[in-house]
């Protein structure tokens, strides 16, 4: 109606229309709002192009594309998002550096045959919480994302050496995930029921110097042990789901994860005795949010709010909704499929029952796999770790914590330089 009135005024000047009552301030407010929205969109569009082109994307027909994708290019793509997260947490990382180094080992201090893992569930404000957060930021090239929904974090601790072997970070999985759902053959009507009896490993891997001795395989094996499954059952027993408000069995039937750089040498052929611990189930479709820096995402959300579109910032607005918000805002700016980053990740599933398909498709009772920490550890030592100490070139097994910390501090300074320049 306001647009119609403006057209009348434009064409007829100051003519009087006694039957047309409106507040001129209302018209001015709408014109101002539209002007602000247009200016914001123009500025934000330039910001999107700059952020993605800096990562190596090219813009063709309003879509962003990658060419010649390999492991190094993927690592480079992740680097800016990683540096941004470092910059956001730089004070924490610097303040806890000496604390973290206190629990580090040089590789020549590690006696592989005496490694004694213990699974420690991370509690808020504990030393393990600080160590988990510090290593989560410092160690992985793939930047950490905020966890949503059900969450469990574990530090795999070596009691003999008093040091962290690795981290396991579990969270609620995405409800609809084609590669997983096709593999499991889940009925769409019961998808949420079964997916709420699983978790996704957002963070899974070993820390130095354990990684030099195939510690990633140990951490992955221990994620499938009886203890983690039972901890999950205890934590979520008789808990209502937040969205539908119903009680779902506190079974942890399976865990999923993805490899950052294609098929993973850690997960491939990962076995315990005569059975596989995990299976490759295919590739993701190349969508996500890692290529959208946090500061850019906040700008996109502010743009949606300015356009009068409600955006979620609470549980129920986790990874899936974040992707939808990115697509929606990018589409408004004139881009196509903003969440498509073009990197198809290898997907894996860790069944924790012997009859997983029968449970999901025929409602059979779970037949739980029986795997103790001690059995898994001993198998790992004999199958992989001890052989690595004897057969692998010694120079490739070296880790020196002082050198590592020096390189980490250089990266922290790099993040300061990069983002302080961006903000100037």
Tell me the pLDDT tens digit for each residue of 321-335: 788 889 999 999 999
Contacts 24+ apart (CB under 8 A), 160-163: 160/111, 160/114, 160/115, 160/116, 161/105, 161/109, 161/110, 161/111, 161/114, 161/115, 162/103, 163/103, 163/104, 163/105
pLDDT of residue 32: 65
Confidence band, pLDDT 50/70/90 cuts, at residue 21: low
Q: How far is 305 from 247, CA to CA, in rounded Å? A: 34
**Better-predicted residue by pLDDT, 33 or 31:** 33
**Better-predicted residue by pLDDT, 36 or 102:** 102
Question: Taking the model in full, what pTM does it have?
Answer: 0.83
Q: What is the DSSP letter of 318?
A: S
The 10s digit of each residue's pLDDT in 371-393 is 999 999 999 999 999 888 887 88
Which range among 58-62, 157-161, 226-230 shows the weakest confidence by mean pLDDT? 58-62
Vertex 119 angle, CA 403 and 202, to 5°: 70
Is the pLDDT assigned to residue 157 strictly greater than 50? yes
Q: What is the pLDDT averaged over residues 332-342?
A: 86
* Pairing mode of beta strands 198-206, 254-259: parallel
pLDDT of residue 175: 86
Q: Is 308 left (phi over 0), alpha (psi -120 to 50) or beta?
A: left
Percent of the chain residues topping a pLDDT of 70: 85
Pick from 228, 202, 114: which is nearest to 163 by CA?
114
- Say if residues 168 and 156 touch (Cβ distance below 8 Å): yes
Measured CA distances, 80 to 272, 292, 294, 318, 406 (Å): 38, 10, 11, 22, 20
The 10s digit of each residue's pLDDT in 290-308 is 788 888 888 999 999 888 8
Is the pLDDT assigned to residue 86 strictly greater than 80? yes
Q: Within a 13 Å sphere around the CA of 344, how many CA atoms are in the beta-carbon half?
A: 7
User: What are the extents of the domains in the chain?
Assistant: 63-288+343-422
153 preceded by cis ω (within 30°)? no
Cite the beta strand spans of 56-148 per DSSP E.
58-60, 63-65, 117-121
Q: How far is 95 from 53, CA to CA, in rounded Å? A: 34
The 10s digit of each residue's pLDDT in 207-262 is 999 999 999 999 999 999 999 999 999 999 877 665 566 778 999 999 999 987 77
- Say if residues 352 and 226 touch (Cβ distance below 8 Å): no
**The dihedral formed by the CA atoms of 305, 296, 53 and 411, expressed in degrees to the nearest 10:** 180
A 10 A CB-CB count for 129 gives 14
The answer for residues whose C-beta is within 8 angstroms of residue 115's C-beta and 6 or more apart is 158, 160, 161, 165, 210, 218, 377, 381, 385
Is the pLDDT assigned to residue 362 strictly greater than 80? yes
The answer for residues whose C-beta is within 8 angstroms of residue 241's C-beta and 6 or more apart is 196, 247, 248
Length of the chain counted residue by residue: 424
Which range among 1-10, 169-178, 346-355, 406-415 shows the weakest confidence by mean pLDDT? 1-10
The token pair that represents 178 in the structure block: 């084609």
Mean pLDDT of the chain: 85
Confidence band, pLDDT 50/70/90 cuts, at residue 421: low
Q: Which helix (H) or strand (E) holds 259?
A: strand 254-259
pLDDT of residue 12: 40
């Amino acid at each position: 109606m306001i647009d119609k009135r403006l057209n009348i005024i434009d064409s007829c000047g100051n003519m009087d229309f006694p039957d047309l009552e409106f507040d001129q301030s209302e018209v001015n407010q709408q014109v101002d709002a539209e002007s602000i929205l247009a200016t914001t969109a123009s500025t934000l569009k330039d910001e999107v192009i700059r952020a993605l082109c800096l990562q190596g994307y090219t813009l063709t027909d309003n879509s962003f594309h990658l060419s010649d994708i390999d492991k190094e290019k993927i690592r480079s793509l992740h680097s800016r998002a990683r540096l941004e997260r470092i910059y956001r947490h730089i004070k924490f990382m610097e303040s806890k550096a000496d604390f973290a180094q206190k629990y580090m080992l040089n590789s020549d201090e590690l006696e592989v045959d005496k490694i004694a893992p213990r699974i420690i569930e991370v509690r808020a404000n504990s030393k393990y919480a600080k160590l988990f957060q510090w290593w989560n930021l410092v160690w992985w090239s793939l930047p950490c994302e905020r966890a949503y929904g059900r969450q469990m974090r574990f530090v795999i601790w070596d009691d003999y050496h008093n040091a962290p072997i690795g981290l396991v970070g579990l969270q609620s999985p995405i409800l609809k995930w084609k590669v997983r759902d096709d593999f499991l053959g889940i009925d769409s009507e019961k998808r949420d029921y079964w997916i709420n009896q699983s978790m996704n490993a957002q963070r899974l891997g070993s820390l130095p110097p354990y990684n030099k001795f195939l510690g990633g395989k140990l951490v992955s094996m221990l994620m499938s042990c009886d203890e983690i499954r039972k901890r999950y059952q205890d934590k979520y027993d008789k808990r209502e789901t937040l969205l539908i408000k119903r009680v779902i069995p506190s079974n942890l039937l399976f865990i999923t994860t993805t490899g950052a750089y294609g098929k993973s040498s850690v997960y491939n052929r990962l076995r315990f005795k005569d059975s596989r611990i995990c299976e490759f189930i295919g590739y993701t479709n190349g969508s996500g949010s890692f290529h959208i820096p946090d500061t850019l995402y906040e700008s996109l959300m502010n743009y949606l709010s300015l356009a009068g579109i409600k955006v979620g910032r609470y549980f129920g607005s986790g990874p899936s909704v974040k992707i939808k918000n990115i697509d929606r805002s990018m589409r408004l700016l004139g881009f196509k499929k903003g969440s498509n980053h073009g990197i198809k990740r290898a997907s894996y599933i860790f069944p924790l029952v012997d009859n997983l398909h029968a449970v999901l498709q025929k409602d059979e009772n779970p037949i739980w796999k029986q795997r103790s920490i001690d059995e898994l550890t001993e198998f790992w030592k004999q199958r992989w770790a001890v052989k690595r100490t004897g057969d692998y070139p010694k120079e490739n097994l070296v880790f020196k914590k002082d050198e590592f910390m020096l390189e980490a501090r250089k990266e922290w300074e790099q993040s300061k330089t990069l983002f302080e320049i961006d903000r100037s």
